[in-house]
Amino acid sequence: MNDMSRPPVAAPPKISAEDVVSFCDFFYKKTGISMDASRRYFIDRRLEERMAANDCKTFREYLALVKFQPGGGEMQALINEMTVNETYFFREDYQFQCLTRHMLDEIADRRGNNRAPIRIWSVPCSTGEEPYTIAISILENWGRANDFDIEILASDIDSRVLGRAQEGIYEARALHRVPTKVRDTYFRKLDNDRWQVIDDLRESVDFSLVNVCNPTQMARMRGIDVIFCRNLLIYFDDLSRRRAAEHFYEALNPGGFVALGHSESMSRISNIFNPRKFPEAIVHQRPVS
Amino acid sequence: MALLKAKAAENVANPASQSGVSPASLDSDDPMERRRAVQQCVEEPNPVAALLGLLREEHENIVRQAAFTELAALGTSEAAQGLAELLSNADPALRNGALEALVAMPEQAMGLLAPLAFCDDPDVRIFAVMMANELPSERTADWLIALAAKEQDANVCSNLAEAIGGTGRRDALPVLQAIIERFPREPYLAFAAETAMTRIREG
């Protein structure tokens, strides 16, 4: 068969600059995530994939599907494509040291005789490395762990990563900072390059789909003692950051803590938290009273 | 193992979702309830006036911040104008809150820069410069340079020099040099302007 006789290859659907601006605006309103229209290649590629998957010939047709599809399945698929999920165990581990050396003791001391569970929330939890790291850090490094019930909640806006998080299977490179003894205690080897978190640990973390800009979903999150929200707010604009910070305030118990990513600063977002400087990290505390 | 499964979405104590449907009162002694009342204000016929009025009466930071966030979320020119008026309020917390809320509504805030440049109060002009500094764009850089070319207050010029240094605009160099010459008895201002010029040249 010569070139002339080949069937024509379908060109990818065309997405104009106006389409991208319109999409960024829509995506922001739905998720609070500010997509920069200058990242055309990233956005176009993912939109084209979703349009092809739904057999949409034009961007307008696809946007109508996303907006009006009953059940919102395509909106979720789009969110899954547009969000970045790259992490590993014990990433920026100084914050977990801060948790087990200081924050948890403060929370436990404030509890007094009240033995309500200590509740820790990892958001976004991506594929689960962070909430499992939190669980392992507590079990390994907090001497009072057996005196309290501890609940670890883990949420993400991306439903696909939540499935992977619950499955708890990781390539060896995700475990490169995990000490051998810890790895052998909390993981089982599946094959040469894959490890799975042990069942007890996987079953102790509660994974859920949450958009931190959605007031209805955030209203379910209450009575939290520590929130790890690292490297999420950098994708938000000022207003969405403020909104998220206020949702966190309401989700936290008085005296509860928020840990942000190392390049993020709560003082540039909102003054409703008090900065707390510990030897390992600066975190942000809801005032006790 | 000390870890328990929480079933977050279903089992976590849920006062807010229940209280979300009941009306909260601005007269409550509980700041969290007043805060919730503020969040419900947006459903009222004239939320901007209600929120601005509340900001002048309320002293609890957590309630005020909710009002600022709601005003920023409304994003109207009326909200922006009301916030701009707070920039000259005697209460520094209100001034700072208004500035932060304006930064969170960039389109409306940029529209305010031109009139704020003519405000008689140099403190308000300083806030306007700080606001422009948080809204980096060619348009705000133009505004900063234009204001620096005519500004007669040394403290405003000091803030302008710092903000202009971050724009990287070489056409600002003569304006910064003019600031040094305009205030020969203010060595700190010469230092600020020279630092800005160095940043631009090295940038």
Looking at residue B41, its pLDDT comes to: 87
Looking at residue A49, its pLDDT comes to: 85
Q: Residue B27, exposed/middle/buried by CB under 10 A (0-12, 13-18, 19+)?
A: exposed
Residue closest to A223 by CA, chosen among A95, A116, A99: A116
The confidence band for A11, taking pLDDT boundaries of 50, 70 and 90, is low
Pairing status of strand A194-197 against strand A118-122: unpaired
Type of residue found at A195: W
Q: Tell me which of A33 and B20 has the higher pLDDT.
A: A33
Write out chain A residues lying below 8 Å of B32, CB-based: 250
For residue A154, give the chain B residue with the closest CA: B8
Question: Which residues 6+ apart lie within 8 Å of B74 measured at CB?
Answer: B42, B47, B48
Write out chain B residues lying below 8 Å of A151, CB-based: 3-6, 8
Most A CBs within 10 Å: which of B5, B12, B43, as the mutation test of the A interface? B12
Looking at residue A13, its pLDDT comes to: 61
How far away is chain A from the Cα of B95, in angstroms, using its nearest Cα? 13
**Tokens for A195?**
């490890």
Looking at residue B58, its pLDDT comes to: 93
Q: What is the mean pLDDT of residues B43-59?
A: 91
Q: Helix count (H) and strand count (E) of chain B?
A: 13, 1
Looking at residue A38, its pLDDT comes to: 73
Is B38:B54 a contact under the CB 8 Å cutoff?
yes
Does position B177 have pLDDT exceeding 50, yes or no?
yes
Backbone angles phi, psi at A156, to 5 degrees: -150, 160
Write out chain A residues lying below 8 Å of B13, CB-based: 222-223
Q: Cβ of B4 and A246 within 8 Å?
A: no
How far away is chain A from the Cα of B119, in angstroms, using its nearest Cα? 26
Is B22:B52 a contact under the CB 8 Å cutoff?
no
The residue whose two tokens read 């977002």 is A269
User: What residue ranges do the domains of chain B occupy?
Assistant: 23-110, 136-203
A242 in contact with chain B, both atoms CB, cutoff 8 A = yes
CATH of domain B23-110: 1.25.10.10
A45-49, B72-76, B125-129: the lowest-pLDDT one: A45-49
A121 in contact with chain B, both atoms CB, cutoff 8 A = yes
A22-31, B47-56, B116-125: the lowest-pLDDT one: A22-31
| A206, A215, A239: residue with CB nearest B8 | A206
Peptide bond just before B15 cis, omega within 30 deg: no
Does position A115 have pLDDT exceeding 90, yes or no?
no
For residue A119, give the chain B residue with the closest CA: B6
Q: What is the mean pLDDT of residues B139-147?
A: 96
User: What residue ranges do the domains of chain A occupy?
Assistant: 3-82, 94-285
The confidence band for B162, taking pLDDT boundaries of 50, 70 and 90, is very high
The confidence band for A85, taking pLDDT boundaries of 50, 70 and 90, is low
Interval A219-247: pLDDT, tens: 899 999 999 999 888 788 889 999 999 99
Q: Helix count (H) and strand count (E) of chain A?
A: 12, 10
Looking at residue A82, its pLDDT comes to: 83
CATH of domain A94-285: 3.40.50.150
Residue closest to A241 by CA, chosen among A254, A231, A253: A231
- ipTM score of the complex? 0.76
Looking at residue B19, its pLDDT comes to: 45
DSSP string covering A209-266: E--TT-HHHHTT--SEEEEEE-SSGGGB-HHHHHHHHHHHHHHEEEEEEEEE-TT--G
Looking at residue B12, its pLDDT comes to: 47
Q: Tell me which of A26 and B181 has the higher pLDDT.
A: B181
The confidence band for B55, taking pLDDT boundaries of 50, 70 and 90, is very high
Looking at residue A263, its pLDDT comes to: 74
Looking at residue A268, its pLDDT comes to: 86
Crossing angle of the two packed helices B154-165 and B173-182, in degrees rounded to 10? 160
**Which runs of E-coded beta strand occur in chain B?**
3-4
DSSP letter, residue A169: E
Geometric angle at alpha carbon B73, from A272 and A231, rounded to 5°: 55
A239 in contact with chain B, both atoms CB, cutoff 8 A = yes
**Tokens for A139?**
């079990």
